[in-house]
Amino acid sequence: MPCTVELICVDPDRVFDFWRYVRPLILAAIERTGLSDFASIENQVLSGEQLLWLAWDGSSILAAATTHLARDVCTITACSGRDRKRWLPLIEHIENYAKAEGALRTRIIGRRGWERVLRSYRAKFVILEKDV
């Protein structure tokens, strides 16, 4: 039987201890969509402007996510990992954090596939793009 997975919010003072392990996961999430600038997210995580979250099964990191809290919205700016079914329910902890910090909503910037697995979330906007 698989070990329990817990969500850990990395203390911004300790993010450097973990970043080298999760950097490839966050980079993969950003490169897959091209919706964000990795260097900006990396700088914001390392400076404490964004939080780093880890899905930990007691022996390894299954997934990593980054969040940015601004005004009344907590945005999950990147999320990537393996064994998604094991850690996906942990998003509730990020939602609880957002609510406790005064956010009125959580927002995800990512690929359309998240709509299929996060049924309580709804697409509110679209990004239209044209190569020129």
Local confidence pLDDT in tens for the 132 residues of the chain: 557 999 999 999 999 999 999 999 999 999 888 778 899 999 999 999 999 999 999 999 999 999 999 989 999 999 999 999 999 999 999 999 999 999 999 988 777 777 777 877 787 766 666 576
Q: How many domains would you assign to the chain?
A: 1
CA dihedral 73, 74, 78, 83 (to 10 degrees): -130
Residue 19 lies in a domain: yes
pLDDT of residue 2: 59
77 inside domain: yes
Is residue 1, in this structure, part of any structural domain at all?
no
pLDDT for res 64: 98
Residue 127 belongs to a domain: no
Q: Which amino acid does the sequence have at 25? A: L
In a domain, 44, yes or no: yes
- Residues present in the chain in total: 132
In a domain, 123, yes or no: no
Sheet holding 51-56: strands in order across?
Answer: 6-10, 51-56, 61-70, 73-81, 105-108
- Model pTM score: 0.87
Query: Which residue range is the domain that position 33 belongs to?
Result: 6-117
Give domain status of residue 27, yes or no: yes
Rounded Cα distance between 73 and 54, Å, is 20
Instruction: Report yes or no on 36 lying in a domain.
Output: yes
H helices, E strands: number in the chain? 5, 5
Sign of the alpha-carbon torsion through 112, 114, 117, 121:
negative
3-state secondary structure of 65: strand
Residues 52 and 20: their CA atoms lie apart, in Å, by: 12
What residue type is 5 in one-letter code?
Answer: V
CATH (domain of 14): 3.40.630.30
